[in-house]
């Protein structure tokens, strides 16, 4: 086993970072730990803290077998600190320090910038746990409930990962930031989470699947960009987080896919040919496709805001400093400095959306966003294949990137999902057909009835093709303590 793959699983905090040899760090983490457990109990999944959940726990960082499965009460989950194995002789891959050995310590001049990147990433991790804390009560199956909790505990571990970096490398400031990560609350007026999409409610399971598909995918893109970092501990941390994040994408993509599949089945069985006959479709107890489309419109546009301004000085600085790269920077064939190249950016000029070439260094947010959109589009196409196979004349699409934006070039502009710029009045008049209405929300709320019997699924979602960890259909993924 290569160096660094061995996880110390005996102490309070499983780790492969030699915590036993680092008294200062261990003290900091052990001081932080009770606050984290309090936060989990207060803000984690509500009503299921005593249930036994069939969860995977990272016990190694060997890609071939890094996790083991077993029943655990969530507050007793072994949140550990795991870094991907060190790469011998790793060098900085981009920016002005390209070719220099990767940093094992924080360079003084980049301390503030690095800390900010880590805090912003870290703040999203607990936020989604908070957003999703009520969903257990309406889980469509024990399988889905278990997947929800798996996502939740791993977001919790990702918080640990970021807190580790803050406490190990950023001294007193880092410890304070780590405390602040536990004090902010999603949706709180007085202490909100840092980014907008992480303060939105996740009231129902369609929202949850959309969130994991769209918003966690932003997380994936950010982690991919940070995994390229010249600051090696950050790179190694993010690389390991990505192995876990893949499951979150899976939950979102298959969740929506199973909803679409169930709707198609029900429509065909009832002989409904018009997918826009919302009333009849809803009467079947399944989610109509136009509503799925509206949720796509909402979650996609909210998530695009997370990429920040299209033209961004911060992104340029972080790249040039070698702290945050592009998506799969190491696979791109160019000079990895970007001093002379340009990149196309969509801009709103005199009421029209036009493409402009801007210096590539300042367009890195746009570039990451473009990669993200392509990644989303592939998933949406897989959903459409379900519809195609079922002969349903309806296709899901991603709205235009300028639709419903609050940050960046198109903030405040009125653009339709097709990308047409319209005036405020006509946008307002039509937005009910583009975004979920209160009535849509009530319909979904009405559908959300829990299904707690092993092997059974709510009527609006199809069962998965295969179980988790190869388990059979009627496997009891969650042993409810109240049962």
Partner 1 sequence: MDQAADAPHITFETEPARYRHWRLSVSGEVATLTLDVDPQGGLFLGYELKLNSYDLGVDIELADALQRLRFEHPTVRVAVLRSGKEGVFCAGANIRMLGRASHGHKVNFCKFTNETRCAIEDASENSGIKFLAAVNGTAAGGGYELAVAADRILLIDDRRSAVSLPETALLAVLPGTGGLTRVTDKRKVRRDLADLFCSTEEGVRGRRAVEWRLVDEAVPPSRWEERIAAAAAELAATSDRPRQAEGVALPPLAKSRGPDAIVYRHVRVALDRPAGRATITVLGPEADAPATPEAARTAGFWPLAMARELDDALLDLRFNEPRLGVLVLRSEGDAARVLAHDALLAAHPGDWFLREVRHLLKRVFKRLDLTSRSLFAVIEPGSCFAGSLAELVFAADRQYAFIGRPAGDNRPPAGLVLSALNFGAYPMANGLSRLAARFWGEPWRLDALRARIGESLPAEAAEEAGLVTAAYDEADWDEELRLVLEERASFSPDALTGMEANLRFVGPETMESRIFGRLSAWQNWIFQRPNAVGEKGALKLYGTGVQPEFDRERV
Contact residue for partner 1 among 3, 190, 279, 355 (CB under 8 A)? 190
Q: Which of 243, 317, 342, 397 binds partner 1 (CB under 8 A)?
A: 317
Nearer to partner 1, 184 or 369 (CB): 184
Q: What share of the chain is helix, strand, coil (3-state, %, to 5)?
A: 50, 10, 40
User: 243 vs 309, which CB is nearer to partner 1?
Assistant: 309
Tell me, by CB under 8 A, how many residues bind partner 1.
25
Residue 415 and residue 423: Cα distance in Å, rounded? 8
Residue 44, token pair as written in the block = 């984690």
Comparing CA positions, the residue from 97, 114, 94, 100 lying closest to residue 338 is: 94
Instruction: Tell me which of 46, 179, 180, 371 binds partner 1, using CB under 8 A.
Output: 180
Q: Rule CB under 8 A: is residue 319 a binding residue for partner 1?
A: yes
Measured over all CA atoms, what is the biggest interatomic distance in the chain, rounded to whole angstroms? 68
Q: How far is the CB of 91 from partner 1 (least distance, A)?
A: 18
Tell me if 243 contacts partner 1 by CB under 8 A: no
**DSSP 3-state assignment of 309?**
coil
Contact between 357 and partner 1 (CB under 8 A)? no
> In 215-340, which residue ranges form alpha helices assigned H by DSSP?
216-227, 232-270, 278-283, 289-304, 313-320
Residue 73 neighbours by CB distance under 10 Å: 15
We find the least distance from the C-beta atom of residue 383 to partner 1, in angstroms, to be: 34
Compute the distance between CA of residue 165 and CA of residue 425 in angstroms, rounded to an integer: 48
- Is residue 98 within 8 A of residue 92, CB to CB? The reply is yes
Report the run of H or E that residue 179 belongs to, with start and end. helix 171-183
Residue for token pair 């405040």: 412
Strands 478-479 and 52-58: antiparallel
Contact 231, 94 (CB under 8 A): no
Q: Are 367 and 351 in contact, with CB atoms under 8 Å apart?
A: no
Among 172, 189, 352, 465, binds partner 1 (CB under 8 A): 189
Closest C-alpha among 197, 226, 269 to residue 459: 269
Residue 140 CA to residue 251 CA, distance in Å, equals 13
Return the range that interacts with partner 1 (CB under 8 A); candidates 38-46, 244-252, 357-365, 445-453.
357-365
- Read off the tokens for 110: 């980049």
Instruction: Please tell me whether residue 415 binds partner 1 under the rule CB under 8 A.
Output: no
d(CA 445, CA 472): 30
By CB under 8 A, tell whether 362 contacts partner 1. yes
Under the criterion CB under 8 A, does residue 359 sit at the interface with partner 1?
Answer: yes
DSSP 212: I
Our finding on whether 339 is near partner 1 (CB under 8 A) is yes
Q: How far is the CB of 348 from partner 1 (least distance, A)?
A: 10
Locus of tokens 């970021």: 162
Q: Is 321 in the site for partner 1 (CB under 8 A)?
A: yes
Stretch that binds partner 1, among 25-33, 142-150, 314-322, 445-453 (CB under 8 A): 314-322
Nearer to partner 1, 210 or 338 (CB): 338
Is 375 strand, coil or helix? Answer: helix
Choose between 176 and 445: whose C-beta lies nearer to partner 1.
176
Asked if 20 touches partner 1 (CB under 8 A), the answer is: no
Cα gap 474→467, rounded to integer Å: 9
Is 186 one of the binding residues for partner 1 (CB under 8 A)?
Answer: no
* Footprint on residues 191-230 left by partner 1 (CB under 8 A): 191-192, 194
Contact by Cβ (8 Å): 72, 52: yes
Minimum distance between the CB of residue 441 and partner 1, rounded to whole angstroms?
A: 24
Residues 102-121 that bind partner 1 (CB under 8 A): 112, 116
Smallest gap from Cβ 172 to partner 1, in A, equals 12
Q: Using the rule CB under 8 A, which residue among 315, 368, 396, 402 binds partner 1?
A: 315
Choices 242-250, 261-269, 311-319, 467-475 (CB under 8 A): range interacting with partner 1: 311-319
If one asks whether residue 361 binds partner 1 (CB under 8 A), the answer comes out as yes
- C-beta of 85 vs 95, nearer to partner 1: 95
424 binds partner 1 (CB under 8 A): no
Cβ distance to partner 1 smaller for residue 192 or 203: 192
Taking the complex as a whole, the smallest distance from the CB of residue 351 to partner 1 amounts, in Å, to 12
Residue 197 is given by DSSP the state: G
CA distances from 322 to 229, 235, 372, 386 (A): 6, 11, 21, 42
370-409 binders of partner 1 (CB under 8 A):
none
Q: Which is nearer to partner 1, 175 or 471 (CB)?
A: 175
Residues near partner 1 (CB under 8 A) are 96, 112, 116, 180, 183-184, 189-192, 194, 309, 313, 315-321, 338-339, 359, 361-362
């Amino acid at each position: 086993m290569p160096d660094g793959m061995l996880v110390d699983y005996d102490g309070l905090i499983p780790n492969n970072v030699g915590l036993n040899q680092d008294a200062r760090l261990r003290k900091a983490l052990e001081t932080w730990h009770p606050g984290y457990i309090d936060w989990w109990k207060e803000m984690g999944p509500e009503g299921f803290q005593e249930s036994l959940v069939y969860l995977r726990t990272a016990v190694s960082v060997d890609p071939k077998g890094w996790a083991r499965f077993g029943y655990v009460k969530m507050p007793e989950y072994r949140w550990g600190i795991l870094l991907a194995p060190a790469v011998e002789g790793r060098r900085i891959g981009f920016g002005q320090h390209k070719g220099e050995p990767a940093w094992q310590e924080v360079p003084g001049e980049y301390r503030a910038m690095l800390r900010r990147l880590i805090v912003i990433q870290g703040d999203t991790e607990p936020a989604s746990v908070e957003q999703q804390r009520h969903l257990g009560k309406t889980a469509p199956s024990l399988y889905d409930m278990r997947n929800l909790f798996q996502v939740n505990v791993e977001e919790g571990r990702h918080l640990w990962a970021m807190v580790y970096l803050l406490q190990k490398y950023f001294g007193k400031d880092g410890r304070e930031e780590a405390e602040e990560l536990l004090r902010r609350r999603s949706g709180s007026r007085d202490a909100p989470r840092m980014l907008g999409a992480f303060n939105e409610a996740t009231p129902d399971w369609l929202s949850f699947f959309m969130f994991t598909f769209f918003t966690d995918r932003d997380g994936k893109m950010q982690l991919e960009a940070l995994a390229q970092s010249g600051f090696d501990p950050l790179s190694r941390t993010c690389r390991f987080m990505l192995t876990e994040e893949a499951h979150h994408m899976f939950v979102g993509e298959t969740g929506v896919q199973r909803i679409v599949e169930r709707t198609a089945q029900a429509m065909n069985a009832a002989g409904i040919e018009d997918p826009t006959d919302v009333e009849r479709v809803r009467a079947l107890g399944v989610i109509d496709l136009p509503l799925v489309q509206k949720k796509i419109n909402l979650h996609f546009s909210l998530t695009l805001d997370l990429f920040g301004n299209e033209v961004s000085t911060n992104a340029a600085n972080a790249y040039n400093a070698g702290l945050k790269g592009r998506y799969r920077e190491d696979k791109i064939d160019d000079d990895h400095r970007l001093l002379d190249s340009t990149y196309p950016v969509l801009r709103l000029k005199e009421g029209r959306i036009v493409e402009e070439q801007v210096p590539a260094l300042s367009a890195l947010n746009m570039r990451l966003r473009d990669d993200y959109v392509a990644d989303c589009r592939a998933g949406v196409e897989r959903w459409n294949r379900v519809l195609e196979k079922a002969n349903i004349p309806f296709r899901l699409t991603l709205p235009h990137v300028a639709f419903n934006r609050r940050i960046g070039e198109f903030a405040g502009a009125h653009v339709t999902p097709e990308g047409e710029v319209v005036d405020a009045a006509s946008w307002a008049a039509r937005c009910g057909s583009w975004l979920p209405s209160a009535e849509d929300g009530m319909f979904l709320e009405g559908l959300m009835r829990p299904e707690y019997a092993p092997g059974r699924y709510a009527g609006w979602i199809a069962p998965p093709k295969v179980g988790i960890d190869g388990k059979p259909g009627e496997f009891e993924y969650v042993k409810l303590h109240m049962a």
